[in-house]
Structure 1
Amino acid sequence: MERLSSSTARTQLVLRQFRKHRLAVWGGRILLVLYLMAAFAGFFSPYDPNYYELYPPKGNHPPTRIHFVDPETGRLSRPFVYATKRSIDPVTLQPRYEEDPSQGKFYLRFFVRTPDQPYTVFKVFRSDLRLIGVDPPGRIFLMGTDNFGRDLFSRIVYGGQVSLTIGILSALVSFALGLLLGGIAGYFSGRPFALSLPPRAWRGWSGVLGLVGLLLWLAVAAGVLFLAWSFVRLSPGKGVFSLAVDGVVLLLGFGGALLILWKVFREPLKLDPDDLIMRTVEIIAAIPSLFLLISLRAVFPTNIDPLITFYLVVGLLGFIGWGGLARVVRGIVLSVREMDYVQAARALGASDGRIIARHVLPATASYVIVSLSLTIPGFILGESGLSFLGLGVTEPYTSWGLLLQAAQQGGFASFTDRPWVLWPGFFIFLAVLSWNFLGDGLRDALDPRRRR
């Protein structure tokens, strides 16, 4: 009971400190609205994101003007819109839309049914109820349309499902890898595993690590042979000297592979998890993140299923983002593992896995919570960048980065003639800024030195 009351008091103190950070509170509120709209995109969007009309065409339609005053009486009226008629500007050759009061008023209606455009909620519940709409043939475009005539507001709401979800899922993948590998690197630092090759006494984790080590060194030997063979295969010369060089390269390749295998099978392999993991982190950190991301994405074909592309982007973003967290967690674990309560648990016979799960990793909770909130916006920007370059999510799905790519294809006219196509950039900016404000507030609330 005493422990429960202490935990409750600590939680109340953290919440009270968080409420003092006004920007963080507003950031949390904005994110709540964005994620609710993304979760129930079908309800909040007036139309299906891929719906458009062939006739009359609505390509690059500006945001619909909503009227609140009846022009006939001059008094406040129920909100309504007019239909529009399309023409071509003779100078710019761009479509031009003008209101057509002759077709009558189309009043805004809430909680409308759209049987021709049903949707599903969480891929489980089927519905056709939408928050706002107008009677046909009227149309309401709150943020205009794209070049195909698809409602931009509906596409932004649905795009939030991808952009916002990828940010969280990629952060979870990154933090799972960072916590696991950083904890192993810190806890087992200075305690190398001796792996006997060929296997003579592989049991438990030693067997798993031994198999991994064997496969690793076999891959290194195969890589040496592949490099030698690639040099010979790509060698353009056909003379005696060229053949002699090719023969020397092949001999060196075979000799190097045999030397690696002889060394591995002759002596036990000592592997320090700390060295292995940290060197991997350094290799990943040495390559620019965007270049590495594009290179890894380019390995896979661009015409694969869009849903597979979604999970592929999640995995790639999570894979390149775990190194920084692993370094910090390693440092925290190196300090925590020398604490008295950890030494006491080890003296009582607790296993390494139990000590890591029950005593070491919980000590990183405060840092992980703050870091998670500050890492998610980076993954949102990463996904937007990939989709903007055409390497991320593809049609029929949409994301904020993909919408920006469509705006970029319009050239300078996107700024002068149809600036509403830049709305996705504003939502990216708003989500990233809100996550940063939220992270700052959580950092201040969870840090005892910052509490007032």
Structure 2
Amino acid sequence: MAQATPRTLSASRTRSQVIWAQFRKHRLAVWGARILLVLYTMALFAGFFSTYDANYYETYPPSNNHPPSKIHFRDPDTGAWSRPFVYATKRTLDELTLQPRYIEDKSQGKFYIHFFVRTPDQPYTILRLFRGDLRLLGVDKPGRLFLMGTDNFGRDLWSRIVYGSQVSLTIGILASIVSFILGLALGGVAGFYSGRPATMSLPLTHLFQPGVGARAWLGAAVSTLLWLAIIAGIIAITVQFLQVTHGFSLLSLIVVALAAWAVWGIARGLLWKPIRIDPDDVIMRSVEIQSAIPDLFLLITLRAIFPPSIDALFSFYLITVLLGFIGWGGLARIVRGTVLSTREQDYVTAAQALGASDRRIIAHHILPATATYVIISLSLAVPGAILGESGLSFLGLGIRDPYVSWGLLLQSAQEGGFASFTDRPWVLIPGFFIVLAIVAWNFLGDGLRDAFDPRKRQ
């Protein structure tokens, strides 16, 4: 019996097995996946990995801007190894800088660190479904354990970082999903219907021709109301612009001329000539306009439309939608190009000849051709969404208390001024987690790109 050669064994593997084998060869991508697994596990079980609730603090003894607790592994009296423990601390003020200083108070004894501690006074939920009070680490009261120090209110920074990962990492995933739904849908429509203008209105003069039924009258009424609303919007925006500019100028004349041209074109379509619009032109021109505006400027502008004092939970969903809205253009452009080339393939032509609907052709034949690019781009879009949320929260336009995110923690550090670098550098630790998550996602995206690219397989 002939033995199987390495080439035969390689050829017998499925495509997913080949991709997985190639991905494992990318060591940075593997480490990126491991880091993300740790971060998302930490976010999922934030209550368990945190030592306190995110907003928990004690007014006495005060612990604002407390440095990370010093963990002892040796008994200072005998020098022998012992269980990890911490000492209580006393708060004093520096005579020169008037900054709080904390010194160990050994008179209260040792406070040993325990694993799997129950905290019935600070319960938490997992996915808002399961309640619990078990935490990984803790010390007996009145001892306190601050693994990464505290903020200016005395809240444990490690606990706030862990809870902040829920918001920052979740927004990254959800915003990417929103942008990819928009990019796939609009890019697919733009590519598949390119060169096939759709009639968007039924002129009123056509309704009085013989054979026009009630369905046509209903469609004409709906389209007429829609276009009249658009005309009213154009006029309102033009009037508002003239009021802001206080009088006529060359720019005002250009705006008025464009508005008049748009109103006349719509009115002509409603009365005599039907309005025909190519979806490809509308979608791609929208992408070009969006691409001409810097993402951060557009994000800040869209966020400024809403009042800064909106509900904290609504702010979370708002930031998710805004981040997804500004990120769909690039994907739509690529999907459109892929669809334009795929719709001319023989199997697509055969499906059309067999009577398959456009929806079925797009869903079963066109969009699967973009799957590879979509998977790679999704992994590379998540870090951009995380960075966008962090930037908005840092500027005070994103997540607000009582919720917490990594960007909000950096904003709190920024409010401390230069003292955050000199006297309490631990408040900058959230920035490390932002960088870690972004680098890990980029490594993962690079590995997926190499794994899906046949030219880079070894």
Q: 1:213 to 1:160 in 2, by over 3 A?
A: farther
Query: Is contact 2:64–2:151 with CA below 8 Å preserved after alignment?
Result: yes
Q: 1:138 to 1:256 in 2, by over 3 A?
A: closer
In structure 1, the residue matched to 2:387 is 381
TM-score for both structures, normalised by structure 1: 0.91
Select 1:429's aligned residue among 432, 435, 438: 435
SS of 1:131's equivalent in the other structure is strand
Give me the whole-angstrom Cα distance separating, in 2, the residues matched to 1:55 and 1:166.
36
Select 1:51's aligned residue among 30, 52, 56: 56
Superposition pairs of residues 11-410 of structure 1, within 5 angstroms = 11-198=16-203, 214=224, 217-227=227-237, 229-230=239-240, 257=263, 260-410=266-416
Query: Gaps spanning 5+ residues in structure 1: where?
Result: none
SS of 2:136's equivalent in the other structure is strand
SS of 1:58's equivalent in the other structure is coil
Query: Gaps spanning 5+ residues in structure 2: where?
Result: 1-9
CA positional deviation for 1:221: 2.0
CA positional deviation for 1:446: 0.7
Query: Is contact 1:173–1:319 with CA below 8 Å preserved after alignment?
Result: yes
SS of 2:111's equivalent in the other structure is strand
Query: Is contact 1:222–1:257 with CA below 8 Å preserved after alignment?
Result: no
CA positional deviation for 1:124: 1.0
Give me the whole-angstrom Cα distance separating, in 2, the residues matched to 1:257 and 1:412.
56
Q: 1:315 to 1:272 in 2, by over 3 A?
A: same
Q: Which amino acid aligns with 1:317?
A: L
Identity of counterpart residues, as a percentage? 68
Query: Is contact 1:38–1:158 with CA below 8 Å preserved after alignment?
Result: yes
CA positional deviation for 1:203: 11
Q: Which amino acid aligns with 2:359?
A: G
CA positional deviation for 1:197: 2.5
Q: How many residues align?
A: 437
After the TM superposition, which of the residue ranges 169-178 and 296-305 deviates more from structure 2? 296-305
Give me the whole-angstrom Cα distance separating, in 2, the residues matched to 1:251 and 1:337.
40
Give me the whole-angstrom Cα distance separating, in 2, the residues matched to 1:189 and 1:7.
40
Query: Is contact 1:159–1:398 with CA below 8 Å preserved after alignment?
Result: yes
In structure 1, the residue matched to 2:4 is none
CA positional deviation for 1:270: 1.0
Q: 1:45 to 1:276 in 2, by over 3 A?
A: same
Give me the whole-angstrom Cα distance separating, in 2, the residues matched to 1:213 and 1:161.
44
In structure 2, the residue matched to 1:9 is 14
SS of 2:14's equivalent in the other structure is helix
Q: Which amino acid aligns with 1:272?
A: D
Give me the whole-angstrom Cα distance separating, in 2, the residues matched to 1:278 and 1:357.
21
Give me the whole-angstrom Cα distance separating, in 2, the residues matched to 1:175 and 1:420.
37
Give me the whole-angstrom Cα distance separating, in 2, the residues matched to 1:174 and 1:306.
22
Root-mean-square deviation over aligned CA pairs: 2.8
Q: 1:329 to 1:215 in 2, by over 3 A?
A: farther
Give me the whole-angstrom Cα distance separating, in 2, the residues matched to 1:175 and 1:268.
33
- 1:229-282: CA deviations, max 9, x gaps? 447766979xxxx9xxx9xx9999889746642343311111111001101111
CA positional deviation for 1:285: 1.0
Give me the whole-angstrom Cα distance separating, in 2, the residues matched to 1:40 and 1:202.
61
Give me the whole-angstrom Cα distance separating, in 2, the residues matched to 1:69 and 1:314.
48
Q: Which amino acid aligns with 2:403?
A: Y
Q: 1:21 to 1:216 in 2, by over 3 A?
A: farther
- 1:376-396: CA deviations, max 9, x gaps? 000000000000000001000
Q: Which amino acid aligns with 1:143?
A: M
Q: Which amino acid aligns with 2:386?
A: I
Query: Is contact 2:203–2:273 with CA below 8 Å preserved after alignment?
Result: no
SS of 1:141's equivalent in the other structure is coil
Query: Is contact 2:201–2:223 with CA below 8 Å preserved after alignment?
Result: no
Q: Which amino acid aligns with 2:320?
A: V
TM-score for both structures, normalised by structure 2: 0.90
CA positional deviation for 1:215: 5.8
- 1:302-329: CA deviations, max 9, x gaps? 1111000000000000011100000000
